[in-house]
Amino acid sequence: MKYRIFISSVQREFAAERKLLADYIRKDAILGRFFDVFLFEDVPAQERPASAVYLSEVDECDIYLCLLGKTYGNTDRRGVSATEREYERAEAKQKDRLCFVRNVDGEREKKESAFVARVNAERTRKSFKTWDELRVSVYAALANYLELKGLINILPFDSAKTAGVQLKDLSIGKMRAFIRDAREKRDYQLSANASATRLLTALELVDDEGRIANSAALLFGKRPQRFFRSSEVKCCWFLSTDVEKPMADHQIYEGDVFEMADEATHFVMSHLSNWVGTRADGETAAVPTKYELPRDVVFEGIVNAICHRDYTMNASVQVMLFRDRLEIWSPGGLPKGMTIAKLGKLHHSVPVNPLLAQAMYLRGYIEKVGSGTRDMVTKSRAWGNEAPVWEIEDGDDFRVVLKRPDIGGVRAASATTSYTTRKTTRYTDSMVPLRSDLEAACEGLTGNARKILQVISEDPGVTIESLATLVKLTPDGVRYHLKALAKSVGLHHSSARKGGVWEVSGPVEANRESTPKNSPKNSPQNSPKTAPKISPKAASKSKRAANAEKVLSIIRGNPGVTAQQIAELIGVSQRTVRVYIKDLRSAGLRYEGSAKTGKWVISPGAKKNGGTK
């Protein structure tokens, strides 16, 4: 027998949420087994009055679920809305009542405000702003309902309270860092000085009896693996295309989900081949580099495996780097209703562990609209690589495969490019090989500043959060050293947007021309000799031709690439990309087909100089 849920709200205000909520409950692997949903809009036409229909359904339901927002709705002769009448009927019939109040912009209608005040006084209610927040709150409330009914043995891992986690097992420092990041990245409306209990309550990780959910240990635990031994991430590097010993490198990472994601991503990036150009190839003084696989795609694959795995299985997430591919294995299959075909498209987010996913979203590690896997496809193709491939083995193991480019027995390298592979470094003050443009920058540096440059040398796309994990500092501590390195060696990030890299342009003082004391500034004999200057017009023309060639190179690697993707890859606006494309049209570039399915075509006689003669 299933428990019946009656969803009550103003229909026109919550039309989308009502349908999404009903579909979510019915299709969820756990909730769908125990709950059925009644929506008034699903009832066929009848001779009975509408009020008689919905009140009789309230009588028959087990749970009354109420959504309150900005509008009160149509009223009867007494001036009472259908929603409030349903609420009163559920109260009279002693039904379990779950109430959720939307945070609205502006003022609520006067009667709706009074209704919300009544609910606040009579019930414990939850607030929400987005569909994802509503879904997580409803999920937690229904999971708690099942627990109280004695069905705890089948509750999802992340909401269950079976591990015996206590407040003393959680790190206050980790919770503080989480709040700071969530406020910065998601505008999270929680005080920076909120208590641990307040944070856990806001994330639905503690109940009214003070019992803490399993997922709290994975998010903020001092030693998460003490509770969940298999929650570790195993990383292996093989020099062949098969699982063969000896392994070139093997690491097992423990800690919270954020630390494991950062360390596993760094493991992969530090062993990937990295194209290193010359300063002539770039637009700045820094040496341009490009890894075979986009860091964002590697990170997304690893985070998904950690977030959406089945934690009830005695298996670990495995990250295996082979000579021709990267495989990321996650214990457990796909959620109910999800298929391999849907992963490469925009789809509804269906997390296996909703409470864990909500927290990882707030810290900026995942997205909530089901766009993460689609972005992996888009970014891989824009990089010039093949799209990721998702596979399921025996229904219990899910994996994503990222093909490494330029593999053909041995890695190809042209006369103008070189590839280097770096082994994982334990970050100490000892001197280790660094990227060429960082060797001079590291001279004389010791301690944490040198450790930070070592990490950046191996992984130029590393984030501040990852740096903090790898060098054992707080994010604020990393920012302090980055600020000092910006002044001492010219360390800076190439883009304020996601996807940039760290670069070194040289000390600030080295870029300033000094004048000897007691010497006339304009004296001919004291004037320094300077190299011939290139006119601004010639420099602009040269830069434009170089960027047009970059665009042409990207198109050759991925004929289906969009102007927006090209703009992100070379760090310019879409408008500027269109200017380069206009130049290239005179060199034989054209677009064939529709905007969605078409592709770029380059005529055999297309010139490499972007159309300049």
Q: Are residues 487 and 505 in the same domain?
A: yes
Tokens 């093997």 label which residue? 250
Band of residue 106 on the pLDDT scale cut at 50, 70, 90: confident
Full-prediction pTM beyond 0.85?
no
Q: Are residues 321 and 199 in the same domain?
A: no
CATH of the domain at 250: 3.30.565.60
Flag whether 305 is in a domain.
yes
- Tens of pLDDT, residue by residue over 48-72, are 777 888 899 999 999 999 999 999 9
Q: Is the pLDDT of residue 523 over 50?
A: no
Flag whether 318 is in a domain.
yes
CA 8-77-124 angle, 5° bins: 35
- Tens of pLDDT, residue by residue over 434-466, are 444 555 556 666 678 888 887 887 677 778 877
What residues make up the domain containing 582? 538-602
CATH of the domain at 449: 1.10.10
Domain boundary among 89, 121, 153: 153
Q: Is the pLDDT of residue 45 over 60?
A: yes
Q: Is the pLDDT of residue 219 over 70?
A: yes
Q: Is the pLDDT of residue 515 over 50?
A: no
Q: Are residues 302 and 371 in the same domain?
A: yes
Q: Are residues 91 and 196 in the same domain?
A: no
Query: 469-506 burial, b for 16+ CB within 10 Å, e for fewer?
Result: bbbebebeebeebbeebeeebbbeebeeeeeebbbbbe
Question: Which pLDDT score, from 0 to 100, does residue 113 have?
Answer: 94
Flag whether 160 is in a domain.
no
Question: Which pLDDT score, from 0 to 100, does residue 287 have?
Answer: 59
Flag whether 530 is in a domain.
no
Q: Are residues 205 and 244 in the same domain?
A: no
- Tens of pLDDT, residue by residue over 279-315, are 555 555 555 678 899 999 999 999 999 998 888 888 8
Helices of type H across 339-472: 340-343, 354-362, 372-382, 436-442, 447-458, 464-471
Band of residue 337 on the pLDDT scale cut at 50, 70, 90: low
Q: Is the pLDDT of residue 397 over 90?
A: no
Which residue would you say has higher pLDDT here, 340 or 146? 146
Flag whether 533 is in a domain.
no
If we measure between CA atoms, which residue out of 156, 160, 317 comes closest to residue 231?
Answer: 317
Flag whether 307 is in a domain.
yes
Q: Are residues 75 and 182 in the same domain?
A: no
DSSP string for 327-350: EEEEES-PPTT--HHHHTS-----
Flag whether 362 is in a domain.
yes
By mean pLDDT, which of 266-275, 426-435, 445-454, 535-544 is the weakest? 426-435
If we measure between CA atoms, which residue out of 455, 466, 399 comes closest to residue 422?
Answer: 455
Q: Are residues 284 and 140 in the same domain?
A: no
If we measure between CA atoms, which residue out of 394, 251, 243, 234 comes closest to residue 328?
Answer: 234
CATH of the domain at 122: 3.40.50.450
Question: Which pLDDT score, from 0 to 100, does residue 428 have?
Answer: 35
Domains of the chain: total: 5
Q: Count CB-CB contacts under 10 A for residue 401.
A: 18
